[in-house]
Every structure is written in C-alpha cells, then in structure tokens.
Chains A and B, each alone.
Chain A
Amino acid sequence: MQKLIKQILTLCLAIVIMAANLSANSAAASSEYASMSGFVYDSESKETLIGATVYLVGSKKGAYSNKAGFYSITDIEPGKYTVRVTYVGYEKLEYDVTLKKGQSFKKEIFLKSAAVSTNTVTVTAEREVEKRQITVSKINVPIQQIKEIRIGGESDVFRTLQLLPGILTSSQISSGLYVRGGSPDQNLVLLDDAVVYNPTHLFGFLSTFNSDAIKDVEMLKGGFPAEYGGRMSSVLSITQNNGSQKEVQGIGALGLISSKLSLEGPLPGTDGSWFIGGRRTYFDLLTSLMSEDPENPLPDFNFYDLNGKLTFNLSPSDKLFVSGFQSADALQYDTYGVNFRMDIGNRLGAIKWTHIWDDNFFSDVIVSGSHYFNKFKGDQTGYEFLINNAITDYSTKIKTEWLVNDKLTVKSGFEYTNFHFQYLQNYSGDTDSTQQGGGGQTNLNLFDNNYSAYLQTNLQANQHLSFQLGGRANYWNLSDQFTVDPRAAARYQFNEGFAIKVAWGLFHQNLRLATQPDFSFFDTWMPSDTSVAGPGRSDQYIFTVETNPMEGFDLNVDLYYKKLHNINELNDKSLEGETVADVLFFGKGRAYGAEVFLQKKYGRLTGWVGYGLGWIFAQFDTINGGREFSPKYDRRHDLKIVAQYKINDSWDIGGTFTLQSGQPYTGASSRFQTKLPGQNYGDGKTVPSQRYGLRLPASHQLNLNGSYKFKMFGLASRVILDIYNVYNRRDIWFRYYNTQSETTTVEDVKLLPIIPTFSIEVKF
C-alpha cells in the first residue's frame, strides 16, 4: 500500500510539472487562441446558476458553470460560433459570437426560466460537456424536482436523496443517509462549503434544509475527488440561494407539519443581494390552545430553521458571500414528577470570497464556524440527570482552480479546522457534581486541530480517455496522525452514447459518531484520540457505465466495492468514560453492490427509476460473539421510482414508489428469566440468534402528490395535496419478543398509516 501511495504521489507531481509545461506552452500559444468566461444568471432574479451548460456548437468545446455560477472555455480557435446555453428548468439560449486571436471574451449569460425543458438539443449539448466529467457516482437532483417530491407535506432534501439507488435508511421515519454501506456520520454534508454535523429535525424524520432556501444539491455517492476529505462514504454539497438582485420578492407556505416564509431582494446601495428563509412547526402553539388533561399532558414540541445569505458583487472578478444557518428542536414534558427538556440544534456561519484572477484561474477563501449540540436535562422528584454534547469547529479553506488549458485542470487547496468536542453524561442524580468525577459521569472535553492539503488534476489524454488524479494529506493534532488519501479516476468514451468510468481511492475519517441507528437524539461527535488506533478508513473501488438507451434518458450502472477499516459502534453499556475508546466499539466492514439509475431530466415527464443490489457486512470483536453480521440498514434489493408529470401550466402531478427487501432483525433461539435478589417474578430475556440474521417482510410505499397553480389576490399561488402511504401499507418499524408473561409473543411495531396533507404556497 505504501508503495502504491508513493506511486500515486509521484504521478501527481509529474502531472503538476506537466501542467507547468503545458501552461508555458499554453501561454505561448494563447495569442493563437481565444477564451470565453463569465457568470450564468437567472434573468429574473440575477441568481447565479450552478451546473449550466455553455457549449460552442460544432467545436466540441464547452463547460459547466461551477458553484459560483462561473464558466470558462479556453483554447478556442478564432472564428464565428454559436454559443448554446442550457439548464434544467430554463429556456435554451443561443447567440452568435465572433472570437479573435488572443481575445479573452467576457460574457454574462442570463437564462429565462421555462415551464418545461423539452428540447433534445439541450441533451445533446449537455452530453458534449459531460464527456469531460470524470467524477464517478455524482448525482445532481434539480432543486425544482426536490421541491416537488414531498413526504408528509414537506419537500425535503434528504428524503429526496433517499429515493436514489444505493442510499438507504434505517427506517421510513429516519432521514439519515446510509450510502453504499456507510453510516450517516460517514457523509460529508456541506452547506455553502461549511460542514453541518447533524442536519435533522423531528429526531431524524426531516432534514433541517428548507428547500426554498436552496438552489443546488450535489451528491457524490462514492469515489469523490481529493478536493473533499474527512469522510469515508459520500459528499453532499448544498448551496443556498443568493437572493434576487432585481427586486424584493418572497414565498410563503402553510403546511401540516410546518409553515415557511422566504424573502429575498437586492442589497440597497450596493451590487448584491440578500436572502432570508425560515420554517417553523406549530405543534406547541396548537397544544397551548387546547385544554389539557393534567393527568395525561401532551409534550411541548417545536422546531425551526433559519437560513440567511448576503451576496456582494464587489467587482466583476470578486464576489463575497456571507451565509448563516440555524436550526433547533425542543421537546419538553412534565408529568407525575418526571420532567425533562431536550434541545437539539445547529448553528453555522460562513464567509466566502470568490476571486477570478484570470479567465483560467479561480480561487475561493472560506472562513466558517459550525456548532451542533444536543442537551437533555431531566428530573425525577429531585433525582437529576443531564446530557450535554456538542461539536464546534472553526475552519479556514483556501481553494484554487486552474484551467491550465482545454485539456488540463488543476485544483488545489488547504484547510485548517479547529475542533472542540464535548461529551457530557451525568446520571449521578446531582447534576451539579459534573466536575467532581465519580460514578455515572462521562465528561470528555477534547480539542483537536486538523490540517489538510490536496492536489487534484483532470487531464484529457485524447478524445476518448480522461484521467482524474489527486491526493489529500491530513494531519490530526490530538492523535498525532498523518494520513495520505490517494484518489484516481478515469473515463473512457467509446462513442457518443457510451462511456465507462473507474475510480479508486482511500478515504480517511478522524471524526466518530456515537449514535443509535433509529433516532437522532443524542448523536455525539468525537475525534479519534490516542485511545483509538487511528482514524477510520474506507478503500473504494467503483466501475461505472454511462449510456443513453434512448433519446432523453440517461442510464448509469455502477458497481462498487468498499472496505471499511476501524469503524465504530456505540457501546451502549458504557457507564462512564475518560477516553473515546471507553464509549465506542471498533471493528471493520465491507460493502459491495450494483446500482442501475435510469433518469429523465427533460420534458413533461421527469424522474427516475433506480435499483440497487447491495451487501453490507460488519465485524466487531465485542458484538455478535465476534462473528460477522449485516447491519440493520442492509437491504438486499432497493427499487425506487420517482415521476413528476406536468399536465399543463396549472396542474402538476407526481409520485414516488419504493420497494425494498425487509430490514434485518435479530431473532432469538430461547428465553430465560432473571431474578435479582428479592424479585418474585423477574424479567424474561431472550437469547439472540445471529445478529440481524433475519429479514422482516419487504417494505414498500407509494406517495402521490398534485399541485394546482392559480392567482390569489393577484399573487401567484399554489395548492398542494400530498398523500403519504397511499395504500396504507403499515411497514414494520421493528420487531421484538414480548417476554412480560410466561408466553413469549412476537410483536411488530408498525410505521405510519396513510396521511393526506394539504398545503398552500403564495409568491409575492
């Protein structure tokens, strides 16, 4: 392995040297060629558009706009061209341009939103540019589609991503993403380039991301390039709306679970924009109006989230973004001398400066802070218990992108993050005694610093073959660990409609999450300290086939194999701890499988059919007698169908259908009765058989939605009807053995029944 890493690093170095040479040649030749660059905007709001395709017809040259909305095409032969610009949900734009020798042509592009993107040229243009994309397992779900896919009346990013093949859940009521055998903590979740740690509401039912505040969602299910690091499985990168630069506008919606309001507009006195969006549930407000039975009080519960962003266009080459995000869930209950309060939340702030140094050199500097906490304080007639867990990071990232020439792109970056971890559990009865030590207390207070640097190159060797090579070096201060993550990918384009990709890489993760798979109650992040044998690591091997079986459809088939080293599970029998190893078990795992993803992005009918076939295995010396087992989220077959149909300008209908192998559960082979001293009856216990060795019946669910657009008091409005679980399939959440009496019974706890919901949305 060491040898391989050395070879990869040598190769990267060679590429950089080659890049320098090519750059020199490029500079010499620059006078012979022209270049073209600029930003792509929504014509109404002047919101930058991410992932728009800019293509010079007939030249085989083109580019996608990046996360700043910036595109750049270099090494263009002088001459007259038709520029074609396309983007999902927008009208195709074409215009002619004449480029001269040595010209650096700046062009801001404005696209008009369209009801339906139907044209096949859109697909053709995208395919031309797609040929340059080497990154594997990357999926961009258009935000319009995310807004249309609703579960229980709420459109939700995580719920939508769960409808992709290879992304599993621990149950229908959990929004946690289990990507190709990885647990949710192995996903790098970025909001405007800052890390979000536990982005869930309702103890995991919904994600904290308000779809009205988001403009782009990019999911990398595996084999991600060196520019991303710190996680073993996947990357989810979410970009918030910049806000309209043209006029103040807003959108409000009333729903069953929550209501939301977003406002945006131009920044007065400057070239820029602002956006603010909020969402709040009102369960607590409703219960406060109801007359309560004092003997059966209802718990008080609420959640909210708030997104905000300021965008300053400082100059044609400089943009400054200030982003903020806050979410909180609170639950309070008081009855019969038992009372508790639980608070869970995220806070995040980020400042990003984007500077375009030249047509072909681009940089980002990001300074961010992120904080996640969960707190629980309970009191049972004077006996107190307390949980107070948190992770806080302060991070600085410098990223550069150098389009050396038409064939070669070099990305590099440096990241520094300061972490503070807090893990406090006090069951001693006296929460004031936290600092005094003694039984029933875990009080870990750890600090860590992480330094990372990466280099990544994309090289188009010829018309058919492209490479992506890179490496990422990490140093963690607390455990004094240095790791290197080599990453490599290649793409071979056989013909217009058929390409294969391969990817390999090592992915280290120093952070660990102590969590239960079913609920996000007390998820606690910890570093790998000196008690742990280094960070976790995954080795990923991915093979992808990309093809277009018929016009308008993309078909991807992915095969993957993932080895997981030094992963962890919560030791839920641990009563106290002084180190990370005291509260976690450590083991290893592997996952492999195949995914088929047939997607239609354009036309009246959009959506996808996804199928995943996967195996996941884990082995811990201290679990299941040391024998290998499949974790709870292992599902052999996983079929998902998503469809949205635009009937006309007023009516849209859609639906989602999932069919999955039943979830594994642990059976039992016999029972016994324990009796502590003085007990006359005792407690029945079962002796488990193979951990998660049995499967529940298959799980399936159909959700339908329909919406109608109309004018209300002159304002564009929409009513939305959702039916969750249309045919009332009560899947089993979990199965357990009831040993309360002498007769053992098998009990199933069922999931939610059919839930129709109605919501209304008004734009102003």
Chain B
Amino acid sequence: MQNIKLIFLSLAVVLLLASCGDPVPTDYIEEIYVEAYLLVGEPIQNIVVAKTQPLTSTFDYSKSLYRDATVVIKGDGREFNLKIDASGTDGFYYEDKDYLVKENTIYTLEITTPDGKVVSGKTTTPQDISWIDRVPKPLQFPKDTLDPETSDPISWTKSKDVDYYLISVKCLDTLDYGKYLDDVPDTEMNRPIERPWTDNEGYFNDITNWGFIPNTNSKIVWAIFKWFGPHETAVYAPDKNFRDWFIQNQWFGRYDENLTSVNGAIGVFGSAAVIRDTTFLLKNQP
C-alpha cells in the first residue's frame, strides 16, 4: 500500500509539472532579408534588402528596408553598382534603364550592410519565352459561377531546362470596372468577384494573384481572378532560385532554409524570362 501511495504522490508532482505550457516568446532576432529578381529583357530594379522585424510590433515595410547598403551585381562582363529608391519602397536599381538583363547569363549579387555583413547570391537567367496562344481579350467570365466551363488553353514556348512556370494576373484597376464599358450603371463600377473564400482576411490586400504551372500550357483557372476589369497576365520561366522562393511565398507561412538562395541572409536572388499581355475580364452577368 505504501508503494501505491508513493506512486500516486509521484503522479501528483507530475501533474503539477505537466500543467505548464511555454508562454508565447517575444524574443527578437534580427536577420537580413533579400528579395532580388532579374527579369530577362527588363532593367535591373526592385532589389530589396531589408531587416526582419519583431513580432510584437506593427510591421512597417518601409522601415524594414536597408537604404544604406552597398549592392553590386556582376554579370555579362560588367559590374552594376545599384542605387536606392530613396523615398519609396522599390529597393535598389541600376541607374541605366537601357541595360536589359540578358538570357542564359550568370549574374552574381554582393551586398554589404553598413555594419559589414556580406550577403551573396548567384543566378543564371533562363532562356527567353514567347506566347503561342495568348489570353483572349476580352475574356468572358462564365455565366454559371458554380460550374464554370473550361476555357481554351493559353500556351507559350518552352524555356530550356525550365519545367515549372509561374503565372501572375495583376488587376490594373480594382475600382472602376464600368469605366471601360458602355452603358454600365454606377453600381457596377467596383466589381470584386465574390466567392466563399473571399471573406478571408487579407484576400483583397494584393492586386496580383499567382499560379504554378508545371507545363507550357494551361486552361484559365477562373479562381486566379479577384476582380473583373483590366488585367495584366504574365508568364514567368523562373530559375530554381526564383521557383523555390515562389514556393516559400505561396505555400509556407514559415521561412524554410531549404528554399533560400542567398548566403548570409534569408531570401532569394533569382531570375526569370517573362512575357506579358493584357486582357479585360468581363463579368458573368450583364
């Protein structure tokens, strides 16, 4: 009986110990964050160097940016010393907008922060791509929103060694749908597309929506559109660095070290060939 008492006494101690959970931590560890994409045929721009921010304070994108880092890109036999978009949030850019990123070219990135930390990365730009079947314009959203029909596919040429493509659809005007059409009542001016999941917090924060296509063609997935109206559709042929960071961006809320492509920081130095087009998404009911 004495043994039993001892056992139950031990268990009582355990209950006390087990009843405590850890408090949610408030520790802050600052890290450097880099987001840099080179797009074939476009100037070097939007090279973002930032600091991660504490979880306990309101996130401020503008305040997170490094504006006094030294950012150098080398490639194509040249060295590009980048300047900061001092007042805005576009990050670093190369002053000479006439220089366009070349396909099939190795570029390296070197960043030195004011406190001497060095971040580096390397990317090989993919082969350029072009449209085969463009997005129809205008594009008629199906009348039956519950069972929308399948569209004809859009397609593009394959970029050598690229198997995964990214599609982005950017709404060019989220407010004035009716402005572009004749005989539209005022109530039709602002037209988000209502679906059960559009109630999600933050759904309409971003005007650009993305899709992942392991192919060189795709049917139009109607769920990629958030608004009716004018849109820019772009297809990216990303390198592995860009592709991995896309996975990080779209699928995981928590940073994964296996998806980063820069040394000395969190983030990406990637590249992509890109094609763009515009379309107008007509709503399902007149």
* Distance of B87 from chain A, by nearest CB (Å): 17
Known: A381-B221, A637-B18, A676-B208. A573 touches B247 (CB 8 A): yes
Surface stretch bound by B, among A60-68, A402-410, A693-701 = A693-701
Residues on A with C-beta less than 8 A from B25 are: 667-669, 689, 694
Tell me the complex Cα distance, A685–B151, Å. 34
Beta-carbon contact of B249 and A674 below 8 Å: yes
Instruction: Tell me if B40 counts as interface (CB < 8 A to partner A).
Output: no
Beta-carbon contact of A679 and B208 below 8 Å: yes
Residues on B with C-beta less than 8 A from A740 are: 200-202, 205
* Distance of A726 from chain B, by nearest CB (Å): 18
Instruction: Tell me if A484 counts as interface (CB < 8 A to partner B).
Output: no
Residue interface mask A225-268, B partner, CB < 8 A = 1: 00000000000000000000000000000000000000000000
Residues on A with C-beta less than 8 A from B50 are: 672-673
One of B7, B142, B153, B170 near A598 (C-beta < 8 A): B7
* Distance of B1 from chain A, by nearest CB (Å): 7
Residues on A with C-beta less than 8 A from B222 are: 337, 381
Beta-carbon contact of A736 and B253 below 8 Å: yes
Surface stretch bound by A, among B105-113, B124-132, B209-217 = B209-217
Instruction: Tell me if A296 counts as interface (CB < 8 A to partner B).
Output: yes
Instruction: Tell me if A666 counts as interface (CB < 8 A to partner B).
Output: yes
Instruction: Tell me if B183 counts as interface (CB < 8 A to partner A).
Output: no
Beta-carbon contact of A669 and B14 below 8 Å: no
Residues on A with C-beta less than 8 A from B86 are: none
Instruction: Tell me if B85 counts as interface (CB < 8 A to partner A).
Output: no
One of A549, A613, A669, A671 near B3 (C-beta < 8 A): A549
Tell me the complex Cα distance, A671–B253, Å. 10
Instruction: Tell me if A113 counts as interface (CB < 8 A to partner B).
Output: no
Beta-carbon contact of A383 and B18 below 8 Å: no
Surface stretch bound by B, among A49-57, A124-132, A191-199, A427-435 = A427-435
* Distance of A578 from chain B, by nearest CB (Å): 13
Beta-carbon contact of B59 and A429 below 8 Å: no
Tell me the complex Cα distance, A744–B202, Å. 13
One of B19, B59, B214 near A440 (C-beta < 8 A): B214
> Could you tell me which residues of chain B, from 232 to 249, have a CB within 8 Å of some CB in chain A?
232, 234, 236, 244-249
With CB as the reference atom, state the residue of chain B lying closest to A294: B146
Residues on A with C-beta less than 8 A from B250 are: 683
Beta-carbon contact of A685 and B170 below 8 Å: no
One of A382, A441, A573 near B244 (C-beta < 8 A): A573
* Distance of B11 from chain A, by nearest CB (Å): 6
Instruction: Tell me if B278 counts as interface (CB < 8 A to partner A).
Output: no
Beta-carbon contact of A296 and B52 below 8 Å: no
One of A439, A622, A685 near B254 (C-beta < 8 A): A685
Beta-carbon contact of B214 and A296 below 8 Å: no
With CB as the reference atom, state the residue of chain B lying closest to A441: B214
Known: A429-B213, A675-B35. A335 touches B196 (CB 8 A): yes
Beta-carbon contact of A668 and B214 below 8 Å: no
One of B53, B247, B248, B252 near A671 (C-beta < 8 A): B53
Tell me the complex Cα distance, A731–B76, Å. 58
Instruction: Tell me if A662 counts as interface (CB < 8 A to partner B).
Output: yes
Instruction: Tell me if A746 counts as interface (CB < 8 A to partner B).
Output: yes
With CB as the reference atom, state the residue of chain B lying closest to A683: B249
Beta-carbon contact of A675 and B48 below 8 Å: yes
Instruction: Tell me if A79 counts as interface (CB < 8 A to partner B).
Output: no
Residues on B with C-beta less than 8 A from A440 are: 163-164, 214-215
Beta-carbon contact of B18 and A698 below 8 Å: yes
Known: A381-B151, A381-B223. A680 touches B206 (CB 8 A): yes
Instruction: Tell me if B180 counts as interface (CB < 8 A to partner A).
Output: no
Instruction: Tell me if B182 counts as interface (CB < 8 A to partner A).
Output: no
Instruction: Tell me if A741 counts as interface (CB < 8 A to partner B).
Output: yes
* Distance of A444 from chain B, by nearest CB (Å): 17
Instruction: Tell me if B220 counts as interface (CB < 8 A to partner A).
Output: yes
Which of B3, B17, B55, B208: most chain A CB closer than 10 A?
B55
Tell me the complex Cα distance, A433–B18, Å. 53
Residues on A with C-beta less than 8 A from B163 are: 438-440, 576
With CB as the reference atom, state the residue of chain A lying closest to B3: A549
Residues on B with C-beta less than 8 A from A43 are: none
Beta-carbon contact of B59 and A673 below 8 Å: yes
> Could you tell me which residues of chain A, from 647 to 702, have a CB within 8 Å of some CB in chain B?
659-662, 666-689, 694-698
With CB as the reference atom, state the residue of chain A lying closest to B13: A637
* Distance of A685 from chain B, by nearest CB (Å): 5
One of B18, B27, B149, B255 near A636 (C-beta < 8 A): B18
One of A294, A336, A687, A743 near B31 (C-beta < 8 A): A687
Instruction: Tell me if A461 counts as interface (CB < 8 A to partner B).
Output: no
Instruction: Tell me if B96 counts as interface (CB < 8 A to partner A).
Output: no
Instruction: Tell me if A550 counts as interface (CB < 8 A to partner B).
Output: yes
Known: A336-B145, A573-B256. A639 touches B35 (CB 8 A): no
Tell me the complex Cα distance, A525–B48, Å. 42
Beta-carbon contact of A678 and B59 below 8 Å: no
Beta-carbon contact of A687 and B18 below 8 Å: no
Beta-carbon contact of A670 and B164 below 8 Å: no
Instruction: Tell me if B259 counts as interface (CB < 8 A to partner A).
Output: yes
With CB as the reference atom, state the residue of chain B lying closest to A622: B258
Residues on A with C-beta less than 8 A from B195 are: 336
Instruction: Tell me if A737 counts as interface (CB < 8 A to partner B).
Output: yes
Tell me the complex Cα distance, A687–B15, Å. 33
One of A428, A573, A575, A660 near B215 (C-beta < 8 A): A428
Which of A429, A694, A695, A746: most chain B CB closer than 10 A?
A429
Chain B residues engaging chain A, CB cutoff 8 angstroms? 1, 3-4, 7, 10-11, 14-15, 17-22, 24-25, 27-31, 33, 35, 37, 39, 46, 48, 50, 52-56, 58-61, 64, 142, 145-151, 153, 163-164, 168, 170, 195-196, 200-202, 205-208, 210, 212-215, 217-223, 232, 234, 236, 244-250, 252-259, 266, 274
Known: A294-B146, A671-B53. 13 other contacts (CB 8 A): A337-B147, A381-B149, A573-B247, A636-B18, A667-B25, A668-B55, A670-B31, A670-B52, A674-B245, A685-B253, A697-B21, A739-B59, A739-B253
Chain A residues engaging chain B, CB cutoff 8 angstroms? 294-296, 335-338, 380-383, 427-430, 433, 438-441, 549-550, 555, 573, 575-576, 596, 598, 609, 611, 613, 622, 625, 636-637, 639, 659-662, 666-689, 694-698, 736-744, 746
26 cross-chain CB contacts under 8 A: A336-B196, A337-B146, A381-B149, A428-B214, A429-B217, A430-B215, A439-B214, A549-B4, A573-B244, A575-B247, A576-B163, A661-B18, A669-B29, A672-B255, A672-B266, A674-B245, A675-B35, A679-B206, A681-B202, A682-B61, A736-B253, A740-B201, A740-B205, A741-B201, A742-B60, A743-B58
